[in-house]
Amino acid sequence: MAQATELLTVIDPKGKGKAPAGLDTDDFKAMYRAMLFTRLFDQRGMNLQRQGRIGFFVPSTGQEASQIGAAYAMGQEDVLFPSYRTHSIALLKGISLKRMYDQMWGNDGDAVKGRQMPNHFTFKDINWVSISSPIGTQISQAAGAARAAQIKGDKLAVWAWFGDGGTSSNDFHAGLNFAGVWKSPCIFMCENNHWAISVPQEMQTASHSFAAKAVAYGMPGMRVDGNDVFAVYEASRQARERALNGDGPTLIENLTFRMGPHSSSDDPKRYQPPELFESWQKKDPIERFQQWLAAEGIWTEAWEDKLRTEIMGEIAEAVEAAESTPQPEIETIFTDVYAEMPTLLKDQLEGLKEQIRRDGDIEDTGGAFPL
């Protein structure tokens, strides 16, 4: 396994390299489609927010290889504790766009009925634990879930996703320490996109890499070219193999770049020098993979055009469906909270119904989203 000081690369920036064993043309096409799907999904998400149709959006532009490469190595039974920038994994795993847009609108089709921030998804059917806004909390939760799976003898891996800023949270240290002690089947995926909102990497840590931190917790650390989908896949495959074999956790640092704002509430031009963005733009992970596919005779302009047309059509259809879905009923403020509604909430619900009977429906004041 690569050491923390080495950078694992399979496809170089010019798109040259050999694919990992076990993958075929269908896999390559599926990986590329998921990466392109994510890029187009992000562009539409930002547009929807700018148009005032949704309140908030978190894009992952520039990080598609870092996510899809790892997701392609995941097992069907694996459990995912995501960050708020990993929706590409849901797209790859076939979660319908309607479900994703329902969550962003917080409408009646939303699994959590508008209780979560937009872009903070939960998908029980693919073992995707609800995204949480507080930085790093998912890391210790994943460590606990991995230990539980270990005790039960479940043959699976638990994946925790976080950014470079997340390594400064208490949960990072507690989670890695716990997993290291128990040698539990946990894979810690650090997407080092160089910025924790406006805080640069060099102000986040004095370590020469984030992967190097693995040594303190008794686990391997891998430093990976996060813009190389094959390198991320190979590192993730090795880490999952270790986990399933009972060899314990792994920390993977995917070196990538956030080619856009932290969220729709951010303006990176206020803190990022333009030449930095331009240098990383030349390392675009989609273009790199596209060059490799073209050299293999897989990618063509006609195929690209067909893919884009299909994806944009799916997105447009799902947006229209989600936007026309009604808002949750007012009663849902009280339901889906407890398995059996306690007396206190029952009384409050009856009080609300009485108020509506007396004064009419609750007025939607159209307050702006707070971020």
The C-alpha atoms of residue 5 and residue 207 are separated, in whole angstroms, by 11
Is residue 275 in a domain? Answer: yes
Do 279 and 341 reside in the same domain of the chain? no
Query: Is 163 among the domain residues?
Result: yes
Q: What are phi and psi of 231, to 5 degrees?
A: -65, -40
- pLDDT of 371: 67
Same domain flag for 338 and 243 = no
User: CA 167, CA 71: separation in Å to the nearest integer?
Assistant: 21
Q: Are residues 256 and 348 in the same domain?
A: no
Tell me, yes or no, whether 370 lies in a domain: no
In a domain, 2, yes or no: no
Residues 223 and 86 grouped into a single domain: yes
Within-domain flag for 345: yes
User: Could you tell me if 313 and 337 lie in one domain?
Assistant: no
Q: Which range of residues forms the domain containing residue 347?
A: 330-359
The domain spanning residue 313 has which CATH number?
3.40.50.970
- The answer as to whether 367 is a domain residue is no
- Pair (263, 136) in one structural domain: yes
Residue 228: closest CA among 281, 287, 303: 287
In the set 50, 53, 208, 271, the catalytic residue is 271
Does residue 352 share a domain with residue 273? no
Q: Structurally, how many domains does the chain consist of? A: 2
* Predicted TM-score (pTM) of this structure: 0.94
* Same domain as 340, residue 311: no
Residues 6+ apart with CB under 8 A from 62: 193, 227, 256, 257, 258, 259, 260, 280, 284, 285
Q: Do 257 and 299 share a domain, yes or no?
A: yes
Q: How far apart are the C-alpha atoms of 199 and 89, rounded to whole Å? A: 26
Q: Which of 44, 223, 240, 258 is catalytic?
A: 258
Residues in the chain: 371
Tokens read off for 322: 């989600």
> Parallel, antiparallel, or unpaired for β 79-81 and 250-255?
unpaired
Q: Which pLDDT tens digits describe the chain residue by residue (371 residues)?
A: 545 668 999 999 999 999 999 999 999 999 999 999 999 999 999 999 999 999 999 999 999 999 999 999 999 999 999 999 999 999 999 999 999 999 999 999 999 999 899 999 999 999 999 999 999 999 999 999 999 999 999 999 999 999 999 999 999 999 999 999 999 999 999 999 999 999 999 999 999 999 999 999 999 999 999 999 999 999 999 999 999 999 999 999 999 999 999 999 999 999 999 999 999 999 999 999 999 999 999 999 999 999 999 999 999 999 999 999 999 998 898 988 899 999 999 999 999 999 999 998 887 776 666 66
Same domain, 302 and 154: yes
Same domain for 82 and 200? yes
Catalytic hit among 44, 147, 237, 262: 262
Secondary structure letter of residue 56 according to DSSP: -
- The pLDDT score that the predictor gives to residue 370 is 66
The answer to whether position 58 is within a domain reads yes
Which pLDDT score, from 0 to 100, does residue 365 have?
A: 72
- Tell me the C-alpha to C-alpha distance, in Å, between residue 335 and each of 104, 250, 338: 20, 40, 7
Looking at the structure, tell me whether residues 170 and 223 fall in a common domain.
yes
Is 258 one of the catalytic residues? yes
